Amino acid sequence: MTGPRPDPQTPDPQTPDPETPGARVTGAQATGAQATGARAGARRSVLARSAPAVVCSLLVLAVSGLALLGSETTQRTATQMLVMGVITVGTYIYVGNSGVLSFGHVVFVGVGAYTTALTTLPRGLKQALLPALPGWLAELELGLPAALLVSGVLSVLVAAVFALLTLRLDGMAAGIASLALLISVNVVISNWDAVTRGSQGIVGIPADLTIGTAVPWLIGAIVVALTYQSSRSGFRLRASREDPVAAAALGIRIRRDRSVALVISAFVCGVGGGLYARFLGALTPGDVYLQLTLLTLLMLIVGGIRSLSGAVVGTIFISVLAELLRRIEAGGGVGPVEISPHPGVQQLILALTLLLTLLLRPGGITSGRELGFAPSGWLGGRRKGPRPGTAVDEPATRSDAAPPRAGRDNVPAAKQGHPQ
């Protein structure tokens, strides 16, 4: 038996009237829930965008903290690693985002190194070593932060001139032009005795750089790099890296975005050059030439040239490997093992490392991915299936395992000759 059917005109007492205050409260609550969800989504989006910088900075802090527990030699190696990190991240800002391999970024490192050397050298020593310096430069003596900022600005000016000269070059032509710039600037530095002392070099630079001094500059370089690659110009440049023809067809001004990346990259490399001069304590033209160029590109390629995380990871990996090989090359004890000297083993193993990376893992250690917090990020591994809790995760039954096959089994019984 069934009960009496309700009158469709009679409202259900359990259903609130949309005009009642209770319904209005429910709507307000729904609107508030949507706003809360939007804010939570925005926070997650910001966290996801900043995750590579946070994780890379934590990695740098962890390695630096471990180095502080070691010997003085270990701490000096870590300081050099931090300086190379600034230079490598600066190079990545242009090379990684544009896809154009540059051999000339050490020019900006050299400009920054000599600028910091000349502006932080004690006045008396400066006048003794470089008597032909202009009076204002001979009297100028800056602190390290100011000298590094000036170094970055001068590197930007050099990069702006270089960008104007090579604005129409792409691909390999741009890379060769950057190598020509490196050679030309090295010739100038090697023969400008009045300012750089030529091949004799500048000595007496305060070599007081420590881990605590270098860490903030590397973290700052990481933040600058991530900020640029997350900007509109960075997105456009990365799009042109993947497909220049399609990017140009969409109206992206590739050369303009490359110039912006080059200028920002030059500033960071100039700051790295200033740190490099304060780390060495003496500076010659050979210190900012081919060997430093190859080392920077080695760190970038081995770590992963297409990601900021790759630049940081590659710097740490190659720095540790190079220090281990240096000890093997010099002979003596490496832990409990006594090793005889093996000259040249460092350059040989580093070259083999580059070759094997290009052959076996062209994307580098990170394969172009960024470090992050989410399980779907590189640090936590990528999911290979759907998220848990979805219907796909439930065991399939016979009815939903596969759609019914079209054929004799699907024909109604009446059509198969059976009585209905």
For residue range 352-390, what is the model confidence (pLDDT) as tens digits? 999 999 999 999 999 989 987 755 444 544 434 444 444
Q: 3-state class of 398 per DSSP?
A: coil
Is residue 1 scored above 50 in pLDDT?
A: no
The DSSP 8-state label assigned to residue 419 in this structure reads -
The whole-number pLDDT of residue 329 equals 86
Predicted pLDDT of residue 36: 56
333 φ, ψ to 5°? Answer: -100, 130
73-130 residue pLDDT tens:
999 999 999 999 999 999 999 999 999 999 999 999 999 999 999 999 999 999 899 9
Task: Output the pTM of the full model.
Answer: 0.79
Q: Which residue has the higher pLDDT, 26 or 111?
A: 111
What is the model's pLDDT at position 340?
Answer: 75
Span of 49-63, 310-324, 355-369, 370-384 with lowest mean pLDDT: 370-384
In the block, tokens 């040989």 appear at 348
- Where are the chain's structural domains? 50-287
What is the 3-state secondary structure of the chain? CCCCCCCCCCCCCCCCCCCCHHHHHHHHHHHHHHHHHHHHHHHHHHHHHHHHHHHHHHHHHHHHHHHHCCCHHHHHHHHHHHHHHHHHHHHHHHHHHHCCCCCCHHHHHHHHHHHHHHHHCCHHHHHHHCCCCCHHHHHCCCCHHHHHHHHHHHHHHHHHHHHHHCCCCCHHHHHHHHHHHHHHHHHHHHHCHHHHCHHHCECCCCCCCCHHHHHHHHHHHHHHHHHHHCCHHHHHHHHHHHCHHHHHHCCCCHHHHHHHHHHHHHHHHHHHHHHHHHHHCCECHHHHCHHHHHHHHHHHHHHCCCCHHHHHHHHHHHHHHHHHHHHHHHCEEECCEEECCCCCHHHHHHHHHHHHHHHHCCCCCCCCCCCCCCCCCCCCCCCCCCCCCCHHHCCCCCCCCCCCCCCHHHCCHHHHCCCC
Q: Pick the more confident residue, 28 or 211.
A: 211
Whether the per-residue pLDDT at 17 is higher than 60: the answer is: no
